[in-house]
């Protein structure tokens, strides 16, 4: 008898940041979770967890590995998001960063099925994949949970998600295939709060009693150029300042690798800031940032650091609509 083909990593499908789709009944809506995108590969009793940029996460989330191992399907590839839930039951990226130091539960919300056995399902319509996924997860145990989706009354659903404090929603075209590695307009992010990932392009020197660094210098890619987006100096504690500084030191560069480096107009210039106070780094690290708005000259207003995105390729970081 021929050996069963071993399933291997495939690059996840990505959501676009285009305008929200029409409410015409051809789309479904899911909560946009605030966690780590995780692709799970099950080959018999061997379970592998992969980030979207192809980094192993098995040791970080052993409870997920154990639960996937108990699924009745022998071989499969699952797509979902690992999250930490706060006291209100909402996903929190900050909590996930410090999950070993808290008692908050970790959950794995699964929203897609790419392979079942050795059958490649990626060309099937999304709703067909959802039906097969529901059958596989029927007897799943914690921390596995199916991602709930809604197909009717989208305006009311989005309002309720927003009222419940969700970060946002993902609209998905019901008939869409799974487009491996593609940022597709068949999946669309709908954000309720302003926040996204930024590349760390450098840092400023600390002042007064602060240690390690003062603020992170941020950027995003536009046509393969790293564009300056401002600085973030809040959201850190002494532990995160030290840990980040230790990651930044080996990446120091003699020249800035960001385009359009400029001092913002007076309203946003940090008091006493000088270009000589900056240290540039190679663009290898990605930070999750919350902010209130973009200014007219393309600078973040009131940014706050949430954590590092180890699952995000810096080259994928763009300014989101």
pLDDT in tens, 255-302: 888 876 554 444 434 444 456 688 999 999 999 999 988 988 889 999
* pLDDT for res 208: 83
SS3 (DSSP) at 317: coil
Residue 4 banded pLDDT, cuts 50, 70, 90: low
Q: What is the mean pLDDT of residues 232-254?
A: 94
- Token pair for 269: 């210039």
Q: Are 17 and 189 a contacting pair, CB within 8 Å? A: yes
Write the secondary structure of 92-123 as one string of H (helix), E (strand) and C (coil).
Answer: CHHHHHCHHHCCCCEEEEEEEEEEECCEECCC
By C-alpha distance, which of 304, 95, 312 is closest to 199?
Answer: 312
Buried (b) or exposed (e) across 22-55, using 16+ Cβ within 10 A?
eeeeebbbbbbbbbbbbbbbbbeeebbbbbbbee
For the chain, domains (ranges, CATH) are 14-191 (3.30.470.30), 195-316 (2.40.50.140)
DSSP 56: B
**How do strand 168-173 and strand 252-253 relate by DSSP bridges?**
unpaired
* pLDDT for res 10: 96
- HSE toward the beta carbon, residue 171, CA cutoff 13 A: 24
* pLDDT for res 267: 40
For the cut 60, the answer to whether the pLDDT of residue 152 exceeds it is yes
Q: What is the mean pLDDT of residues 197-201?
A: 96
For the cut 90, the answer to whether the pLDDT of residue 182 exceeds it is yes
Q: What is the mean pLDDT of residues 18-42?
A: 92
- Whether the pTM exceeds 0.95: the reply is no
The residues carrying an active-site annotation are: 32
Phi and psi torsions of 272, nearest 5°: 75, 10
pLDDT in tens, 207-241: 888 899 999 999 999 988 999 999 999 999 999 99
Residue 21 banded pLDDT, cuts 50, 70, 90: confident
Q: What is the mean pLDDT of residues 54-67?
A: 95
Percent of the chain residues past pLDDT 90, beyond the cut: 70
Phi and psi torsions of 96, nearest 5°: -65, -30
Residue 164 banded pLDDT, cuts 50, 70, 90: confident
- For the chain, the residue count is 321
Report the C-alpha gap between 316 and 286 in whole angstroms.
10
Report the C-alpha gap between 100 and 104 in whole angstroms.
9
Count of C-beta atoms within a 10 Å radius of residue 310: 14
């Amino acid at each position: 008898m021929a050996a069963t083909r071993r399933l291997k990593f495939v690059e996840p499908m990505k959501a676009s940041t285009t305008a929200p789709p029409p409410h015409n009944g051809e789309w479904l809506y899911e909560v946009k979770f605030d966690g780590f995108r995780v692709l799970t590969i099950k080959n018999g009793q061997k379970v592998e967890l992969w980030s979207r940029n192809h980094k192993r996460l098995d040791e970080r989330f052993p409870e997920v590995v154990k639960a996937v191992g108990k699924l009745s399907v022998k071989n499969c590839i699952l797509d979902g998001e690992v999250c930490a839930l706060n006291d209100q039951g909402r996903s929190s990226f900050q909590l996930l960063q410090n999950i070993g130091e808290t008692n908050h539960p970790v959950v794995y919300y699964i929203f897609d099925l790419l392979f079942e056995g050795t059958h490649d399902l990626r060309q099937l319509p999304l709703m067909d994949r959802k039906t097969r996924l529901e059958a596989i997860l029927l007897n799943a145990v914690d921390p596995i949970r199916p991602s709930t989706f809604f197909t009717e009354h989208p305006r009311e659903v989005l309002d309720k998600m927003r009222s419940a404090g969700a970060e946002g929603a993902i609209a998905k075209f019901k008939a869409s295939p799974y487009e491996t590695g593609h940022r597709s307009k068949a999946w669309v992010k709908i954000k309720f709060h302003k926040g996204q990932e930024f590349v760390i392009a450098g840092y400023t020197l600390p002042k007064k009693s602060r240690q390690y660094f003062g603020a992170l210098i941020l950027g995003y890619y536009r046509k393969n150029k790293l564009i300056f987006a401002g600085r973030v100096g809040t959201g850190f504690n002494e532990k995160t300042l030290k840990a980040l500084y230790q990651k930044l030191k080996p990446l120091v560069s003699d020249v800035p690798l960001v385009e359009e480096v400029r001092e913002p107009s007076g309203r946003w210039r940090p008091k006493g800031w000088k270009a000589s106070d900056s240290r540039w780094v190679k663009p290898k690290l990605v930070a999750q940032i919350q902010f209130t708005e973009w200014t007219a000259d393309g600078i973040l207003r009131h940014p706050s650091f949430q954590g590092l995105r180890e699952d995000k390729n810096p080259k994928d970081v763009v300014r989101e609509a």
